[in-house]
Amino acid sequence: MSAKTLTQADLASLVGDLVAAGTRVVAPSRTGVGPLQHLDYREIKKADEMTLDAGLPKRSIKELFFPPTEVLFRWKQKKNDFELQEVETKFQKTVVIGARPCDAAAPEIVDRLMNWDYKDELWNGRREATTIVALACDGQDKSCFCTAVGLGPDSTKGADVLLVPVKGGYHAEILTAKGEALVKDFGKRFGEAKSADEAGKFRETARAKVEGNLKVDPKPIRTWLDGHFEDKYWGEIALRCHGCGACASVCPTCHCFDIVDEPEGIYEGARRRNWDTCQTGKFTLHGSGHNPRGTQNMRFRQRVTHKFAIYPRKFEEILCTGCGRCARACPGGMDLLEILSDIGQMAGGAA
């Protein structure tokens, strides 16, 4: 690991260099008009489209690796037979600039699932083509809880380069081979590191700010979840839930999908995989009509246990980066922080 300095002007030039080199650059950017205006990660062509100081974008970078809908193969009727067409698994080189640490960590967590048995080519193809330049966060708001799940506003997990804001620019930590390659290719934009102390202070302040939001220990929570599947706590958990799936769609780690055949004309079509959510009843409905997860309470229990007990058991990672988007996006006001702190108390962990 090495460190460099990147000034504001150099960062702007870097964006220009990358675009000129034919690389897709994705960064937080303002989009929409009037009351619909918000911050989102999207492809930019010029540095001034990028907004790095306006907090957490509304959606995560999940969709860069796992699009809301993608074609698995196409089929076409041919005389009395059908023909299958494979899809391209080579992807455009991409650099994400300014991904918040909670977003940068997520793909690395989901990597485990995508490679535990069958290796998902589409996911891996996009992962390999993408370099993530993360940006240390100063703690967005009261819904942030990255420190409670073992990450932090300055976490380097999943990032190839971490930028920490300092006066006049950024202190850049080069973390992986992909990060080194970026520095090598655009060496003239990176200067000698000189503000490590200032960066350290920024990181400490941000950490303290987020730590105040939620103080729980994920270990006793996992133990509690393992032993309290039938606890009365789950009985009324989802009273406020509409089953709309907002939480899953903004979650950087939610990865459930549905596979459907969609016609493209009468005699041809595509099989697609689309984002899905375990919060709808149809998710587990059997062909026979039986539904093992018949009520919203059971579905919400699945969501919480999957993130904090099931996934850790199988893949040794918590399926949550503490970005707090689910709490912000829920129309019913379901708050994962509240739930975790409840469970933390019941588990007898740090409250």
| φ and ψ of 236, to 5 deg | -125, 20
Our finding on whether 239 is near another protein (CB under 8 A) is yes
Only segment of 92-100, 194-202, 209-217, 238-246 that touches another protein (CB under 8 A):
238-246
Beta bridge partners of 82: 77
Q: Of the two residues 280 and 345, which places its CB atom closer to another protein in the complex? A: 280
Q: Using CB atoms within 10 Å of the CB of residue 121, give its burial: 0 to 12 exposed, 13 to 18 middle, 19+ buried.
A: exposed
Q: Of the two residues 117 and 192, which places its CB atom closer to another protein in the complex? A: 117
- Show the binding pattern over residues 8-37: x = contacts another protein (CB under 8 A), - = does not: ---------------------------xx-
258 CA to centre of own chain: 19
Buried b (16+ CB within 10 A) or exposed e, 24-40: bbbbbbebeeeeeeebb
Q: Is 47 helix (H, G, I), strand (E, B) or coil?
A: helix
- Show the binding pattern over residues 306-325: x = contacts another protein (CB under 8 A), - = does not: x---xx-xx-----------
Taking the complex as a whole, the smallest distance from the CB of residue 266 to another protein amounts, in Å, to 5
Interacting positions 204-233 with another protein (CB under 8 A): 229-230
Interacting positions 251-280 with another protein (CB under 8 A): 255-261, 263, 265-266, 269, 271, 273-278, 280
Interacting positions 132-191 with another protein (CB under 8 A): none
Residue of 7, 16, 75, 342 that binds another protein (CB under 8 A): 75
Q: Of the two residues 187 and 263, which places its CB atom closer to another protein in the complex? A: 263
**What whole-number distance in Å separates Cα of residue 258 and Cα of residue 275?**
6
Q: Of the two residues 150 and 269, which places its CB atom closer to another protein in the complex? A: 269
Taking the complex as a whole, the smallest distance from the CB of residue 169 to another protein amounts, in Å, to 33
Interacting positions 85-124 with another protein (CB under 8 A): 113-114, 116-118, 120
Residue of 1, 2, 38, 348 that binds another protein (CB under 8 A): 38
Beta bridge partners of 44: 25
Taking the complex as a whole, the smallest distance from the CB of residue 143 to another protein amounts, in Å, to 15
In one letter, which amino acid is 187? Answer: G
Our finding on whether 246 is near another protein (CB under 8 A) is yes
The residue ranges of DSSP E strands in 17-65, in sequence order, are 24-31, 38-44
**Residues touching another protein: how many (CB under 8 A)?**
75
Our finding on whether 282 is near another protein (CB under 8 A) is yes
Interacting positions 50-69 with another protein (CB under 8 A): 59, 68
Beta bridge partners of 191: 5
Count of CB atoms situated within 10 Å of the CB of 327: 21
**What whole-number distance in Å separates Cα of residue 217 and Cα of residue 145?**
11
Q: Of the two residues 164 and 339, which places its CB atom closer to another protein in the complex? A: 339
Q: Of the two residues 22 and 292, which places its CB atom closer to another protein in the complex? A: 292
Under 8 Å CB-to-CB from 218, ≥6 apart: which residues? 148, 149, 150, 308, 312, 318
Residue of 3, 19, 52, 285 that binds another protein (CB under 8 A): 285
| φ and ψ of 20, to 5 deg | -65, -30
Taking the complex as a whole, the smallest distance from the CB of residue 54 to another protein amounts, in Å, to 17
Our finding on whether 197 is near another protein (CB under 8 A) is no
Residue of 20, 80, 187, 192 that binds another protein (CB under 8 A): 80
What the block records as the tokens of 47 is: 């540095």
Nearest to 62 by CA among 30, 25, 109: 109
- Would you say 38 and 59 are in contact if contact means Cβ atoms under 8 Å apart? no
Q: Is 100 helix (H, G, I), strand (E, B) or coil?
A: coil
Beta bridge partners of 133: 97, 161
Our finding on whether 42 is near another protein (CB under 8 A) is no
Residue of 88, 90, 187, 287 that binds another protein (CB under 8 A): 287
